[in-house]
Amino acid sequence: MALLSASFAPADRRRGVRRVAEAAILASALLLVRGAGLAGQTVQAPEYQVKAMFLFNFAQFVDWPAAAFADSATPLVIGVLGDDPFEGFLDQTIRREQVRGRGFQVQRYHNVGEIKTCHILFISRATGARLDEVLANLRNRPILTVSDDAGFAERGGMIRFVTDQHRIRLQINLGAAQAASLTVSSKLLRVADIVTPRGR
């Protein structure tokens, strides 16, 4: 996969990261995002800033069933289950944004029982040994499950971030997404590795 990089001044950093992340999903996995510091030095965008941009962009490449939203004004909810590694980047990313006329909300959950309305759920690595239980509780619900935990897609999660030397690749368990009545765009599938769950 090709290296994608961009340089942008501090004032344009958020807009620049968004453009790079969008290009990454359409063209290849996002490998490296760079920004120019005040002294002209090159700095790498924090890993979870990039991952926050991916979560935002997934909303443009996944379709949810109508029943996933109470009405046309219901916001698209991005949730974080467990420890929040985003340090505010996720809130900054979705602020004042819309997709298909819907705004966004960020919700944080301590346990899976708290999850009512949620459309994209990032599951923290700290979930660890409870991951199978969490995924079993979410199975077939129209929630796009995402994590960077090892083996996530093989264990029934839908999208896993794989970080390799400043490169972020995507693994997608298409069967899990389809079982939850989610439609993943072919544009997203083309830049991802499709994973078959264990035991199949």
Q: Domains, the chain, ranges and CATH?
A: 10-194 (3.40.50)
Quote the tokens at residue 145.
Answer: 């499950």
CB 177 within 8 A of CB 158: yes
Quote the tokens at residue 195.
Answer: 């994973």
**H helices of 62-200, where?**
89-94, 131-138, 174-179, 186-190
pLDDT in tens, 5-37: 222 233 344 555 554 555 454 443 333 333 323
Arithmetic mean of pLDDT over the chain = 81
b (16+ CB within 10 A) / e for 53-73 = bbbbbbbebbebeeebbeeee
DSSP at 134: H
Confidence of residue 128 (pLDDT cuts 50, 70, 90): low
In this predicted structure, the answer to whether residue 48 has a pLDDT above a threshold of 90 is: yes
Residue 38 has what pLDDT?
30
Residue 70 has what pLDDT?
93
Q: How far apart are the first and last CA of the chain?
A: 28
CA distance 155 to 1: 25
Which residues make Cβ contacts (< 8 Å) with residue 137, sequence separation at least 6? 112, 113
